[in-house]
Structure 1
């Protein structure tokens, strides 16, 4: 059984495999590997079997339901799925059975996909690990004692372990890109607004307004699968404009200009990741690519990081339970201006006034405008997808109080989103593709950032990288 989405779609179309047989294959993989991994946390076996049988019956009549006809897949448990429990890792939503699919899920189903399960995520998608009080902790298939990342960690782990051929994730601060990096798979953050976000939790179930940060996006084992899924997710009305489409991209290595940024002041890049990125840059130069090592970001990377961190915490505020929000508001009001304790900083961020938000948003707009000068010189930018490889599970404390150890030095836990923030702040498309493995055998990836709406350019460059690095490799035992 081929386990890439493009391979399976081709086999389904040619009649070499049935949708029912493909579904049973992945259900058997879930049964065999998921008890230890805990990546797939909810199943709709009866519903999926009925959908697969319907797809097979349509195929027998010569009908094709869409570009994903009969393809079994899973989605992150932050997307509402009609009739299938959707919790976003929250105990208060443990019995939430949506009546309507999230828009992105609806597009996948309309294209013929058979959604058979949901994958794990932290509470309200608010962590860089995938652990919650509803379903517990998801392990990384490369080392179960380590995290697969978050918040689309269950998605990445399920893909790497071969429990699903395609995933729908979401990304507000690296939540697609970091898990893809930690698990050795591919992920794409679309241009903000390219993929509809209604039906994603957070916000609250039934919310029509969508947050001003983040986007749903595809995750897969290869770049071709990302392209297949993105075409479906974007649909015929890019950003709500009927007939709107993403520009095509033709990449010729001899004409390609790529900037390379390898170090970030918020958290030093692991030397093994840095060395692999340098080696990749050399290989690209050998193909005729013009590698730009001195091209600077639109503003200092630390300024971009700090600006986004404050906006992000403000956007996450509605997910806080009301008693916690009130307590943080009291802490912020009572603190002296020079008090920089984590609880005080969090209280200030989640209780921003509109005037304070507007000031930050203006800073974001100016940084975003500055990308025009970057992309006048470069077609895309290559960075580490994250500054470190998968770390051991950390369940004590909160994201604000935890620490990481990188290269023998302590660093704030939130600093791991350093390389996610440049694209996230400005709503740019970014693709993560496998780059290599550490001496400890842990995978890591490279990120390709492209201009706004040029998702296909990011993916085309990622294909070039994938050919050089060899792309996805299954973890031992899977």
Structure 2
């Protein structure tokens, strides 16, 4: 019944939203029959046995297309499941299909030359963000209760905020990855779940993750530091107001909330991410003869920037990342959690790569990422939960809750409040 409900919903709304770009109804039905038999025998594999899920199209699902939103990989079929996919399948999850992503999963909206643009379920003419826009749209629209996707610069967290769903970007090394496309930005990218509630995010994460040391013990009354803006970086008024209301709610729960200044420069963080990503793009696309005619102008520009980098440029960037990573981890451990908006922007037209302006100021490609990419650089975990809607637009706003190494479970506890 759960599977058929999701398939019916998908048939009704996916033509308008374009979230799921490859469907495996037959495979999901076969897996559902096996799940039904286990439940009838009183031997389910666990809480996700029989639960439909979708998988972002930059992760391998054996037997399904693996296109990465690019004509470079048109027609490619994944030979096997990547590790987190295999773990969820082994737990009885029903994989119903793949979700849309921008080319090479490197954009803040979800549009590509193969499948086109994905719409936001709350306003289909607007974007659900990127690069996991298809994943969050599928969950928010009821096509599946759970999806898994990746985050190298905010790709789980910003779309979750824009679609009004919950997610967790795990810290480095918590969810293994072995089979599939190469990471473009070294260890900036991790894999996490998306769901409509924190409890479902937790169940999926526990099944996907490697065993870990016991998480840090946080007291009932926590010391929360909040970054409510960055000098010179615009933020949508809806985001600002919803975030302020969230801080008031945490204070009312008895937590200590302190407003602090951000110890990072988003321009520097963006430049370091750009160095790694450009080199990664160059590495991937140049393996394909005639790539220049197959990719978007944005990806071609990134590849050319990567080809122009010297090895010394790359090593200098890695050295600076190592210094910032140590400094940011020390700063994070001075309190229990850090609160920020998940995205500085509200949704914009779905075919546009970024909003033309934010709060009256001209915006650029990373305008929404001033609070997200820094945590990829630091290698730290962060959860996102809805804290909207925005008073002006009525669209979702997300709250980001970040912590130190290994704090995924306490973060989810706090997010559930």
TM-score for both structures, normalised by structure 2: 0.91
Aligned partners of 1:435 and 1:445 also within 8 Å = yes
Q: CA deviation at 1:191?
A: 0.5
5+ unaligned residues in a row in structure 1: which ranges? 1-20, 205-209, 239-243, 328-341, 465-478
Alignment equivalent of 1:312, drawn from 263, 274, 277: 277
What is the match of residue 370 of structure 2? 418
In structure 2, the CA distance between the partners of 1:350 and 1:459, relative to structure 1 (3 Å rule), is farther
Kept in 1, the 8 Å contact 2:234–2:361? The answer is no
Deviations 1:162-214 (A, max 9, x none): 1100000111111111110111111111101211222343559xxxxx94320
Q: Of 221, 227, 230, which residue of structure 2 is paired with 1:261? A: 227
Distance 1:249 1:222 in 2: 23
Question: Which residue does 2:167 correspond to in 1?
Answer: 187
Moved more, 442-451 or 210-219: 210-219
Residue 225 of structure 1: how far off its partner (Å): 0.9
Instruction: Say if 2:323 is the partner of 1:366.
Output: yes
Task: Report if aligned partners of 1:299, 1:370 keep a CA contact under 8 Å in 2.
Answer: no
TM-score by length of 1: 0.80
Aligned mate of 2:5, from 10, 20, 25: 25
Given the alignment, which residue of 26, 34, 57 partners 1:77?
Answer: 57
1:425 Cα deviation (Å)?
Answer: 0.6
Q: Distance in 2 between matches of 1:106 and 1:191?
A: 20
Which residue in 2 is equivalent to 1:118?
98
Query: Which residue of structure 2 lines up, in the alignment, with residue 228 of structure 1?
Result: 203
Unaligned 5+ residue runs, structure 2?
Answer: 294-298
Q: For residue 459 of structure 1, what is the aligned residue in structure 2? A: 412
- Deviation, 1:344, is 8.2
Deviation at 1:75, TM superposition (A): 0.9
Residue 349 of structure 1, CA deviation: 4.5
**Rounded Cα–Cα distance in structure 1 between residues aligned with 2:384 and 2:278:** 24
Q: Which has the higher contact order (CA 8 A, sep 6+)?
A: 2
**Paired residues, number:** 410
SS at match of 1:162: coil
Of 208, 212, 231, the residue aligned with 1:245 is 212
Q: Which has the larger radius of gyration?
A: 1
**Among candidates 238, 252, 258, match of residue 272 of structure 1:** 238
1:1-400 to structure 2, matched below 5 A, reads: 21-202=1-182, 211-234=186-209, 238=210, 244-248=211-215, 251-254=218-221, 256-265=222-231, 267-294=233-260, 296-321=261-286, 347-395=304-352
Residues 128 and 350 in structure 2, CA contact (< 8 A), matched pair in contact too: no
- Distance in 2 (CA, whole Å) between partners of 1:71 and 1:82 is 18
RMSD in angstroms over aligned alpha carbons? 2.5
Secondary structure of residue in 2 paired with 1:274: helix
- Contact 1:266/1:418 (8 A) holds in 2: no
Q: Distance in 2 between matches of 1:117 and 1:164?
A: 10
CA positional deviation for 1:159 = 0.7
1:270 & 1:430 partners in 2: Cα distance? 21
Question: Which stretches of structure 1, 4 residues or longer, exceed 6 Å deviation after superposition?
Answer: 323-327, 342-346
